[in-house]
A and B are shown apart, each in its own frame.
Chain A
Amino acid sequence: MSEESVRTRLNGVFRDVFDNEQLAVVDTTTANDVEGWDSLAHVNLIVAVEKAFGVSFTTKEISGLGNVGDFVRLIETKTG
């Protein structure tokens, strides 16, 4: 899956999870930039991403996520 298509689909997942149709995330977006992205929402996001891309992450991989860009690269390695 190309990086661009990962980004597009990931943005759709963010909009669903945070219930915000206007949301547009970029690689540098972090939890501080998105309203409602707390520790509870973070795991909902992980579950939604795993379902959307048909992948499974380890705790270590999840803990290493600093921003959306890290997410994109992790999904790419998993789906690639």
Chain B
Amino acid sequence: MAFLSVDFLLLLPLAVSLYHVIPTTWRSFCLLAYSYLFYCTWSLPYAALLLVVSLAVQRLGLRIEASVEDSVQKRYLAVGVVCLSLLLFAFKYAPVVSGRLSSLLAPLGVSYYTFKLVSYLVDVYWEKIPAERNVVAFLLYPVFFPQIVSGPIQRARDFLPQVKVAGPVDPSLIASGLRWILFGLFKKFVIADRLALFVNRIFDSPHNYGSVGLLLACYAFAIQLYADFSGLTDFAIGVGRLFGIDSPQNFNAPFYAPNIQEFWRRWHITLTSWLTDYVFTPLRIAFRNWGDAGLALAIVMNMVAIGVWHGARWTFVVFGLTNAVYMVVSAFTLKPRNRFFKRHPTLATARLIAAPLVTFHLVVFALVLFRANGLADAVYIASHVVPIDVFVSSLGHGRLALEESLHGLGLSFFQVYWALLAIPLMEAVQFVHRRGLLPRLFYARPTWVRWAVYYAGILVILFFGELEAREFIYEHF
């Protein structure tokens, strides 16, 4: 069953209702049953594999905790981390490396659940959390169905205590869950999937389009990817909340980040914070006596890991390397830049506006690599997006240029138009949410006003959404 399908949305209310009427002590078992049922609709053998892997990791965690000698603990940790890495490699990279792409389909969510389990073992070894003795709670951690498809990668210390609390779920958490679901669907159907109509055609045959189309597609893809993935995360957070489980946020206004380090702290937060804790920091510590070279090496390895995590493709490797170059340059120049702007307060004001714009464009450029169907296409797009040419041609007739570009794609202005109108709405809602203004501006309104807004939201999705069944981009990673 697809995560975002009519079947799923129809079964969800039934599952939620049953969950809230059964005795609270059965709830974690109920969630575990739902999660494995969901997983079994994808693949029974892979569900069995996940069950065996989870049980093995739980045993390893207990062994690590019970061992007195650090060397013994390390050995158990190494066994766990190596086996989980091999599992990930075998399904995600080996078929590509060996050239037998079609032979093996990767298990659903393998990139997410192996990362969850590795972090659990390391945290037990680092004595940040105790080894989990409650088998049901532990088994639920990697398979929890709202998070299995594409995260967020929640840490065990945040997840497990929530599962073990057996009390009534706060109704406000359920209400907020419904709002997250609605907003996630809005981002996905009205923005991401509409932009995808335009983006896919251009990226699938970039040679057929001029610089206007290519440039617009680059911007549109950045926004599509954000709306798609953050929409999916919002949906996952919302579904989790219906069952009383709070999941972490994955995005925090990334396109307003003032530098590239900050961008990566705000984009796919649960992946980047995972890599920071379990890859970057240990590497940085290991290389700490190598000075700046050690720092640069740790950054490069970490960013390549971020790229390659998305799949075994050269475009992802170069995407990681491009971001590594950004990060190294930014990290080594940040202090002098800060000092310079401290001495020039007038320029510092301009920096407030210019820095996020520069960062956004660096990201848009790197994302061309992320989306392009191969390095040759990426190079073609990058070398044929000529900003001056575009600027001049779009000065007098911006809409005309867009219409010409869309017409060439066989799309009408109308088909993409709604996405363009919806983007400011998405930004406005997120701005109000970030500023903590929702309680005053929205929750305090009379019930009929709030429900009118919810119904309007549903109607907007139904009428203006691109509802042809399409998958989420991050389901494939």
Contact = CB atoms under 8 A, between A and B. Distances in A.
Interface of A: 19, 38-40, 42-43, 46-47, 59-60, 62-64
Contacts of A47: 288-289
B281 A39 contact: yes
B289 A64 contact: no
Nearest to B286: A59
Contact of A43 (B70, B127, B128, B284): B284
B282 A59 contact: yes
A46 B280 CA distance: 15
B331 interface: yes
Nearest to B278: A63
A18 to B, nearest CB: 11
Contact of B127 (A39, A42, A64): A64
Nearest to B335: A19
B295 A40 contact: yes
Contacts of A46: 285, 288
Given A39-B284, A43-B284, A60-B126, 15 more contacts: A19-B335, A39-B281, A40-B284, A40-B295, A43-B281, A43-B288, A43-B295, A47-B289, A59-B281, A59-B282, A59-B285, A59-B286, A60-B70, A62-B285, A64-B127
Nearest to A47: B288
What is the interface of chain B mostly: helix, strand, loop, or mixed?
helix
A39 B285 contact: no
Contacts of B39: none
Contacts of A38: 261
B120 to A, nearest CB: 14
B343 to A, nearest CB: 15
Interface in B250-293: 261, 276-277, 280-282, 284-286, 288-289
A63 B128 contact: yes
B112 interface: no
A39 B262 CA distance: 12
B113 interface: no
A59 B261 CA distance: 23
Contacts of A59: 281-282, 285-286
B128 A64 contact: yes
B243 interface: no
B316 interface: no
A67 to B, nearest CB: 14
A75 to B, nearest CB: 16
B93 interface: no
- Residue of A19, A46, A47, A59 most packed against chain B (CB within 10 A): A59
4 tightest CB-CB pairs across the interface, nearest first? A43-B284, A63-B126, A47-B288, A59-B285
Contacts of B284: 39-40, 43
Interface string B97-131: 00000000000000000000000000001111000
